[in-house]
């Protein structure tokens, strides 16, 4: 338990964290990797370069400071991060290392403003916050290992099949090398893929949503090759998967995890909205609903650049043809002449509220969406404007977590998929 004095000091630093939080976390990662380069085997180097990890950590520290006297209020955030930590292999022994470097970063950035009193208060507070994470993660580790077909750490799989879905998206079907049972999962969850890429000093770990329903003898991930955007460095892992990973090759996977999941207890209609490769968890949810919950009405909405970049279109259309309760709609922002000739899409431009109100049968539904951050921000704003309750809005970030309602970037009414 923290003393009232410590709580008071931590809360007094909230304005400072709001101003200097990202500077502190940037300095933290500099110190962390300089002192412990072995941790580069765990962390996503690309998110470091883009600043996403620093921002996510700054937001988490800020939230913890705000609610230091009632940490249970941020338990959903703790659980979300804990799922990712478990899939990456973060262990209790890592937390003292993080704490030491975080306190050092606070001292470096704040200088004389980081008084002995503030440093001591944050040292105590970090211990409490770390214990909260360690406790939640211990439960997740136990669940992952003890469930039927489960395991701890990373398990060897073999790439059984590789299927090109569009110009930049490919599906990878993976089966366990030992031939034994694999753990089930809830649609929307992901696995971590651990690779040793030739020529790279450190291993690389990436998290990919499972893109098929549970209950299959394989896990499927569907990956976008991240090298098509101008002025953006190519994604080492996605390019390696597309170019070099061949059928029969070994892949290391974590047990499935994640808290962005389909609520199968909710009997109401479901609306699945995706942009680009953000449809991967939606395909898992769609397949699950089609196979096991045929009474629930499903509206599947997908935004893509055009038909050349639209993955799994035929699969979704077949699901809609085979199940009367499923409707599918496509939105292309750069349709080709062939797309227009074939009438391959339903809307040109971007997903917006008037179109959603036109095609979604009822606002009394559960809404799930995933895609690029600007896309998700636009969808979130549209749903809020429509009056959809926060409890019915569910979304997933690919990469470090965030909050669409509190993101500092300027809001956009439309966004590219």
Give the annotated binding-site residues for NADP(+).
276-281
Question: Is residue 352 within 8 Å of 328, Cβ to Cβ?
Answer: no
Domain of 36, CATH number, reads 1.10.490.10
Among 281, 212, 14, 236, CA closest to 125 = 14
Alpha helices in 270-332 (DSSP H): 280-292, 313-322
Pairing of strands 298-304, 270-275: parallel
pLDDT 10s digits, 153-211: 999 999 999 999 999 999 999 999 999 999 999 999 999 999 999 999 999 999 999 99
In the block, which residue shows the tokens 């966004």? 415
Residue 413 included in any domain: no
Same domain, 242 and 296: no
Same domain, 34 and 101: yes
Same domain, 127 and 24: yes
Domain of 227, CATH number, reads 2.40.30.10
Residue 190 included in any domain: yes
Q: What is the pLDDT of residue 412?
A: 28
Same domain, 294 and 378: yes
The residue among 146, 164, 190 that closes a domain is 146
Which positions are catalytic?
Answer: 95, 137
Residue 317 included in any domain: yes
CA 297 remoteness from chain centre: 26
Q: Which domain holds residue 22?
A: 4-146
Q: Which tokens belong to 142?
A: 């136990």
pLDDT 10s digits, 6-18: 999 999 999 999 8
Largest CA distance in the chain: 70
Helix 94-110 to helix 116-146 angle (10° resolution) is 150
Same domain, 229 and 302: no
**Residue partners of 386: CB distance under 8 A and separation at least 6:** 353, 356, 357, 363
Q: Which tokens belong to 126?
A: 């970090």
Average pLDDT over residues 272-294: 96
Q: What is the pTM of this model?
A: 0.91
Residue 200 included in any domain: yes
Query: How many structural domains comprise the chain?
Result: 3
Same domain, 142 and 169: no
Residue 265 included in any domain: no
Give the annotated binding-site residues.
85, 190, 206-209, 276-281, 397-400
Is pLDDT of 226 > 90?
Answer: no
Question: Rounded CA gap, 99 and 371, in Å?
Answer: 33
Question: Is residue 351 within 8 Å of 268, Cβ to Cβ?
Answer: no
Same domain, 80 and 160: no
Q: What is the DSSP string of 141-185?
A: HHHHHHSTT--SS-EEEEEEEEEE-SSSEEEEEEEETT-------
Same domain, 171 and 222: yes
Residue 401 included in any domain: no
Residue 23 included in any domain: yes
The residue among 253, 283, 316 that closes a domain is 253
User: How many other CB atoms are found less than 10 A from the CB of residue 70?
Assistant: 10
Give the annotated binding-site residues for heme b.
85
Q: Which tokens belong to 224?
A: 């976008």
Question: Is residue 326 within 8 Å of 300, Cβ to Cβ?
Answer: yes
Is pLDDT of 68 > 70?
Answer: yes
Higher model confidence: residue 115 or residue 411? Answer: 115
- Please give the order of strands across the beta sheet that includes 298-304: 347-348, 326-332, 298-304, 270-275, 366-370, 393-396
Domain of 344, CATH number, reads 3.40.50.80
**Which of the 8 DSSP states describes residue 203?**
-
Same domain, 191 and 321: no
Give the annotated binding-site residues for FAD.
190, 206-209, 397-400
Same domain, 97 and 206: no
Residue 283 included in any domain: yes
Among 309, 321, 232, 245, CA closest to 277 = 309
Same domain, 18 and 55: yes
Number of H helices and E strands in the chain, helices first, is 13, 12
Same domain, 105 and 166: no
Is pLDDT of 363 > 90?
Answer: yes
pLDDT tier, 77 (very low <50, low <70, confident <90, very high otherwise): confident
């Amino acid at each position: 338990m923290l003393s009232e004095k410590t709580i008071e000091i931590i809360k007094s630093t909230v304005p400072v964290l709001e101003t200097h939080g990202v500077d502190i976390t940037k300095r933290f990662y500099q110190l962390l990797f300089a002192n412990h380069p072995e941790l580069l085997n765990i962390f996503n180097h690309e998110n470091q370069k883009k600043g996403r990890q620093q921002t996510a950590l700054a937001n988490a520290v800020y939230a913890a400071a705000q609610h230091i006297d009632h940490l249970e209020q941020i338990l959903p955030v703790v659980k979300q991060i804990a799922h990712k930590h478990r899939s990456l292999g973060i262990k209790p022994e890592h937390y003292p290392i993080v704490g030491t470097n975080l306190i050092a970063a606070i001292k470096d950035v704040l200088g004389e403003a980081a008084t002995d009193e503030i440093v001591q208060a944050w040292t105590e507070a970090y211990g409490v916050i770390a214990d909260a994470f360690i406790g939640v993660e211990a439960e997740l580790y136990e669940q992952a290992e003890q469930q039927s077909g489960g395991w701890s750490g990373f398990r060897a799989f073999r790439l059984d099949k590789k299927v090109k879905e569009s110009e930049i998206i490919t599906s990878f079907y993976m089966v366990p090398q030992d031939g034994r049972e694999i753990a089930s999962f809830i649609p929307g969850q992901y696995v971590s893929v651990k690779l040793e890429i030739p020529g790279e000093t450190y291993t690389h770990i990436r998290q990919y949503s499972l893109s098929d329903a549970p209950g299959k003898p394989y896990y499927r991930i569907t990956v976008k090759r991240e090298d098509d955007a101008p002025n953006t460095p190519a994604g080492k892992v996605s390019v390696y998967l597309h170019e070099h990973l061949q059928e029969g090759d070994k892949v290391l996977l974590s047990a499935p995890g994640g808290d962005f999941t389909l609520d199968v207890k909710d009997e109401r209609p479901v609306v699945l909205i995706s942009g680009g490769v953000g449809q991967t968890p939606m395909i898992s949810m769609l397949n699950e609903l089609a196979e096991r919950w045929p009474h629930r009405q499903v509206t599947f909405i997908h935004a893509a650049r055009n038909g050349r970049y639209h993955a799994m279109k035929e699969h979704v259309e077949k699901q809609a043809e085979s199940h009367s309760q499923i409707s599918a709609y496509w939105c292309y922002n750069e349709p080709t002449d062939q797309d227009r000739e074939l009438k391959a899409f339903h809307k040109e431009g971007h997903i917006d509220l008037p179109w959603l109100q036109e095609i979604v049968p009822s606002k009394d539904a559960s809404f799930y969406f995933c895609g690029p951050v600007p896309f998700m921000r636009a969808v979130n704003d549209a749903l809020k404007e429509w009056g959809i309750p926060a409890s019915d809005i569910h979304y997933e970030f690919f990469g470090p977590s965030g909050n669409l309602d509190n993101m500092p970037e300027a809001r956009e009414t439309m966004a590219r998929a």
